[in-house]
């Protein structure tokens, strides 16, 4: 179980997250949707503490960290929680001087202390999972954007995190390449991988998520299943936003 309780986040005088409380059950996929600047990416990044909450509680499994405006957990506790997550960014962020396999191996070797032999076996298993087994020794410059993002997904999965966090994983891709990434994430969802996705991609949210959270102005407006949110939203603000997604 992953839980956020009464999360507030300020950047100076601006409050970008306001009293957000959400649960993400193990084995579930949650899509965070909302307009640009709504706070969904900031919320996603608070789960692994790339953004430090001003106040509130973050729980992943047995780890529970409490934040207040005057006190923060120590760095060891933060790193311990962060290592239970895997992060996929919009911009891939692959090492250009490492092959696909080496990019997946890097964290296992340098952070977890695995041998290169063991790490390569794990990397090849994961590249096969994302349908890139035949590109293991390719350089990032030799891969399409969709292939690079699939390598990034394999890299995030390498240490067997409790939750995979994806920040706009298809937004930098054209529709055909985005479909490759949607297919991989959908397959991971069917396998029971716990995921939280911040996305504008209606197809990704509908194909993978069991729970959709609509966020606007840093607050949760509405939560429901994809059918409820996309076909029968209860809040007028949600309905207006869904119309903009369908028109895009």
**Distances, alpha carbon 33 to alpha carbons 4, 97, 156, 199, 241, in Å:** 17, 34, 22, 6, 9
Q: Are 158 and 122 in contact (CB under 8 A)?
A: yes
Cα 177 from Cα 193, distance rounded (Å):
22
Cα 3 from Cα 103, distance rounded (Å):
30
What's the confidence (pLDDT) of residue 177? 85
Task: Please provide the average confidence, as pLDDT, over all residues in the chain.
Answer: 92
What's the confidence (pLDDT) of residue 248? 63
Report pLDDT digits (tens) over 158-179.
999 999 999 999 888 888 888 8
User: pLDDT confidence of 227, banded at 50, 70, 90?
Assistant: very high
Domain parsing of the chain, residue ranges: 94-160
What's the confidence (pLDDT) of residue 245? 78
pTM: 0.92
Is the confidence at residue 37, as pLDDT, over 80?
yes
Report pLDDT digits (tens) over 87-145.
999 888 899 999 999 999 999 999 999 999 999 999 999 999 999 999 999 999 999 99
Task: List phi, psi (to 5°) of 165.
Answer: -105, 125
What's the confidence (pLDDT) of residue 62? 84
Report pLDDT digits (tens) over 14-25.
999 999 999 999
User: pLDDT confidence of 243, banded at 50, 70, 90?
Assistant: confident
Is the confidence at residue 1, as pLDDT, over 80?
no
Task: Please write down the HEC assignment for all residues of the chain.
Answer: CEEEEEEEEEECCEEEEEEEEEEECCCCEEEEECCCCCCHHHHHHHHCCCCCCCEEEEEECCEEEEEECCECCCHHHHHHHHCCEEEECCCCCCCCCCCHHHHHHHHHHHCCCCCHHHHHHHHHHHHHHCCCHHHCCCCHHHCCHHHHHHHHHHHHHCCCCCEEEEECCCCCCCHHHHHHHHHHHHHHHHCCCCEEEECCCHHHHHHHCCEEEEEECCEEEEEECHHHHHHCCCCHHHHHHHHHHHHC
Cα 22 from Cα 36, distance rounded (Å):
20
Give the CA angle between residues 75, 78, 82 to the nearest 5°. 135
Is the confidence at residue 45, as pLDDT, over 70?
yes
Task: Please write down the HEC assignment for all residues of 29-79.
Answer: EEEEECCCCCCHHHHHHHHCCCCCCCEEEEEECCEEEEEECCECCCHHHHH
């Amino acid at each position: 179980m992953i839980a956020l309780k009464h999360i507030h986040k300020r950047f100076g005088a601006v409050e970008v997250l306001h009293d957000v409380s959400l649960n993400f059950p193990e084995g579930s996929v949650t899509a965070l949707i909302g307009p640009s600047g709504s706070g969904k990416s900031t919320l996603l990044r608070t789960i692994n503490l790339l953004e430090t909450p001003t106040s509130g509680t973050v729980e992943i499994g047995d780890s529970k960290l409490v934040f207040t405006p005057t006190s923060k957990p120590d760095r060891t506790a933060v790193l311990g929680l962060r290592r239970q997550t895997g992060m996929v960014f919009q911009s891939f962020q692959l090492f250009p001087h490492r092959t696909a396999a080496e990019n997946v191996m890097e964290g296992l070797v340098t952070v977890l202390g695995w041998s290169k032999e063991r790490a390569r076996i794990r990397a090849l298993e994961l590249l096969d999972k994302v349908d890139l087994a035949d590109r293991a020794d390719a350089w990032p410059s030799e891969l399409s954007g969709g292939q690079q993002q699939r390598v990034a997904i394999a890299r995030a999965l390498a240490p067997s995190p409790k939750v995979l966090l994806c920040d706009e994983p298809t937004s930098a891709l054209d529709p055909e390449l985005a479909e490759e990434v949607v297919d991989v994430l959908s397959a991971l969802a069917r396998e029971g991988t716990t995921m939280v996705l911040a996305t504008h991609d209606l197809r990704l949210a509908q194909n993978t998520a069991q729970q959709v959270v609509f966020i606007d102005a840093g607050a949760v407006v509405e939560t429901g299943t994809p059918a409820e949110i996309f076909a029968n939203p209860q809040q007028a603000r949600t309905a207006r936003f869904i119309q903009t997604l369908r028109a895009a």
